[in-house]
Amino acid sequence: MFAIAYYVVSMIRCTTVKKETAPNQVKRREMTDFTNYNVDFKTPEDTKVEMCKIIQSTHLNKYGHLSSGQLLKWVDISACLAAEKLAGRPCVTLSVDDLYFEDKVHVGEIISLVSGVNRAFNTSMEVGVEVKKENDDGTRKLICCAFLTFVAINGAGKKVKLPPFQFKSSSEKACFTLAEERRRVRIAHSKTMKVLLDSYEDSNHPCASDIRRKVVKGLCTRVESVELVLPQHANHHGNTFGGQIMEWMEGISSISAVRFAKGAIALRSVDMIHFRGPSQVGDRIVLRALVNHATRNSIEVGVRVEAYNCENGNMGEIRHINSAFFIFESTLTLPLLDPTGTEDGTRRHREAIARAKIRLDRRYILSSQRVEKLSVKLNRSNVMYLRLNNLSCLSDLASKSDWKNVSNDENLTLSTREQNGVLFFKVSKKLSSSRVTDFHAFNILSNPLVRKNWDPLMISCEKLSKDIGEDDCVFRTMMRSGMNDDDDKKNEFILLYSHRKPTRKGDSYIIAMRSVVSEDDHNKDGDNYNRMEVACAGFIIHQDPGQNTEISYYNETNPKMVRYVTSDVAGFSKLYSVVYSKMEKYLIDSI
Ligand code: COA
Ligand code: ADP
């Protein structure tokens, strides 16, 4: 629970970072060139919004806790205010990423919601929201973190281009970079689901002890309800707030879950929600819910939302607004679900199992900043999250401000930092030749197959998997720990390389690496190698206008490597200086 909290907090912490300079005023609204440095722009700090709420009895559910529907509504309002601070015009909720509720909130407690834009794309932007409750002793506890996508719209409900937006601090930069990666995950979400379903095999047979459990027909959990959209449910253009729809969905899904569980339940998480189309004041919103899947202690309820208008005496077209999936937990053993009672029950049951797998993959991988077993088996359903984890670990490491500069040598700086007992190191080299551009360095360094040409520590490298996206690939590399360890067993790494070009002028190139277990990993010579694992490593390549390219390599030490790092730190050896000089020479020679 806390691992994911740590991860997500680090992801959205740019919303709470103190501003370095006074807010910029946006003078030109209709900007077309975001790469132009001569224009004013807004920063994450300019979009920051804080909301504080004291929990009253009207906010509670029947168990005496803050209703999750109410919380979802506040999250959406708070995020919308941040989005509109950037856009300077109305914004609508397009999507909400998976949400986890980490703790309950009780009457009289105070919660704070801090929101801010992490990144603006063209017409859409990512907003991060952090919800914490304040304890009596002044400490704060995380309740949930959310990432929402908003689109700026005009009076006719059409999307419009956003004004320029730029990060200032290094932590804002990390959020900015990762927002692009999370966007990829969102856009690929339905495809990921389809891929998983295609490869799904039903192995979910009840076990012997299940025979004693009561069976509930899926159809018995069906709920239908209608709501009329009133002015208080909408913004001043008459568009229904996404948070209002979410509150209604949470309400109906909990009725369905209670019908199934016949006991106390609590909302644990919500799958990614996508608002397919708008609804307005006067619309009728029809919500239908049903339990799709249940395990011993958890229930997935699906909700379908449709809207129609019956102005002028005619029932207008029925529009599918969205579909969402809510996961409830119970401390009691739940009944068995018989999904076959509804027409689509078996299919939905099957899809719910696939969603449960995606949820587990996502939560496990995204929270595994550092876990005992680092390598995760890479497959088609978790590749999106592994890529995101890969890039987020490196961006997060690079954005830390507590790096200690431990040695300087001919444009090469060695720095270290410690976190939770792990020593990380960074080697930064400013290239002496201005002929090596950041783009050229990126092309060379992102291809580990040519690394042997410049890195004396590399013994061999082979590509293991087919490309799993344009910018990601798995390689097996054999490395020496140091220059003179020929007697040692060699170190074998199976690494996912994720490389990204900057989307805007002035940003950095990133090449992130982390250990994975590949489906194509058939090493029969295991006895002659140490299988090594690395949670976070990679290059960040940057070039300021008129300046030489700077290459920074980040890595965490492992027991084999640490002696070489500490020797360099102490000045006994110059391993990194040698390696990086060879790299520079190769970069120049290969122009
Ligand atoms: N995740 C993240 N971003 C997504 C996305 C997804 N799954 N699908 C689309 N987008 C992005 C697009 O990339 C585009 O962003 P960009 O311009 O920054 O590149 C933006 O969202 C618009 O997408 P597009 O498909 O071109 O939009 P559209 O013109 O068809 O409609 C809306 C966009 C927002 C006007 C329309 O979807 C809508 O009205 N949705 C309902 C919003 C609403 O009313 N919400 C409140 C609850 S009812
Ligand atoms: P799908 O049926 O493919 O799951 P939908 O978007 O139609 O996708 O529905 C989403 C979820 O809403 C379903 O999984 C189901 O749980 C619930 N649902 C859909 N239709 C109904 C209905 N007629 N009555 C009750 N619940 C429904």
Q: Is 518 in the pocket of ligand 1 (CB under 6 A)?
A: no
Write the DSSP symbol of residue 469. S
Highest mean pLDDT pick, 66-80, 427-441, 542-556, 562-576 = 66-80
Mean pLDDT (the chain, rounded): 84
Closest ligand, as measured to the CA of 271? 2
Q: Which residue lies with its CA nearest to atom 44 of ligand 1?
A: 278
HEC secondary structure over 154-177? CCCCCECCCCCECCCCHHHHHHHH
Q: Which residue lies with its CA nearest to atom 29 of ligand 1?
A: 159
In 3D, which of 470, 530, 464, 543 has the Cα closest to residue 502?
543
Distance CA 555, CA 563 (A): 14
pLDDT of residue 10: 41
Q: Which residue lies with its CA nearest to atom 19 of ligand 2?
A: 304
Q: How confident is the model at residue 500 (pLDDT cuts 50, 70, 90)?
A: very high
For residues 561-589, give the mean pLDDT.
Answer: 76
More confident: 319 or 411:
319
Q: Which CATH superfamily is domain 200-367 in?
A: Hotdog Thioesterase (3.10.129.10)
pLDDT, tens digit, 9 for 90 and up, residues 508-558: 999 999 988 876 666 555 567 778 888 889 999 999 888 899 999 998 876
pLDDT, tens digit, 9 for 90 and up, residues 159-189: 999 999 988 888 888 888 889 889 988 998 8
Closest ligand, as measured to the CA of 275? 1
Whether residue 35 has pLDDT greater than 90:
no
Residues with CB under 6 A from ligand 2: 222, 288-290, 292, 302-304, 323, 344, 348
For residues 21-34, give the mean pLDDT.
Answer: 37
Token pair for residue 178?
Answer: 């990762």
Residue 154: strand pairing partners:
none
Parse the chain into domains and list their residue ranges. 200-367, 377-589
Signed CA dihedral, 289, 295, 296, 297: sign only: negative
Closest ligand, as measured to the CA of 95? 1
406-410, 461-465, 567-571: least confidently modelled range: 567-571
CATH number for the domain running over 377-589: 3.30.530.20
Residue given tokens 């004004």 in the structure block: 163
CA of 281 to the centre of ligand 2 (A): 24
pLDDT of residue 208: 52
CA of 87 to the centre of ligand 1 (A): 15
Please spell the DSSP secondary structure of 471-499, one letter per residue. TEEEEEEEE-SSTT-TTSPEEEEEEEEEE
345, 353 in Cβ contact below 8 A? no
54-68, 403-417, 432-446: least confidently modelled range: 403-417
For residues 295-312, give the mean pLDDT.
Answer: 92
Distance CA 278, CA 565 (A): 57
Using only C-alpha atoms, what is the Rg of the chain? 26
pLDDT of residue 36: 40
Percent of the chain, pLDDT > 70? Answer: 82
Percent of the chain, pLDDT > 90? Answer: 50
Residue 423: strand pairing partners:
418
pLDDT of residue 308: 95
Q: Which atom of ligand 2 is nearest to the CA of 289?
A: 26
Q: Is 122 in the pocket of ligand 1 (CB under 6 A)?
A: yes
Whether residue 24 has pLDDT greater than 50:
no
Residue 516 neighbours by CB under 8 Å, 6+ apart: 375, 376, 377, 378, 386, 474, 494, 495, 496
73-77, 360-364, 491-495: least confidently modelled range: 360-364
541, 550 in Cβ contact below 8 A? yes
Query: What 3-state DSSP class applies to 377?
Result: strand
pLDDT, tens digit, 9 for 90 and up, residues 274-288: 999 999 999 999 999
Q: How confident is the model at residue 18 (pLDDT cuts 50, 70, 90)?
A: very low
Distance CA 580, CA 449 (A): 17
E strands, 186-253, where? 215-217, 223-228
pLDDT, tens digit, 9 for 90 and up, residues 320-356: 999 999 999 998 889 999 988 777 888 898 888 888 8
197-206, 392-401, 449-458: least confidently modelled range: 197-206
CA of 125 to the centre of ligand 1 (A): 10
In 3D, which of 351, 339, 343, 301 has the Cα closest to residue 198?
351
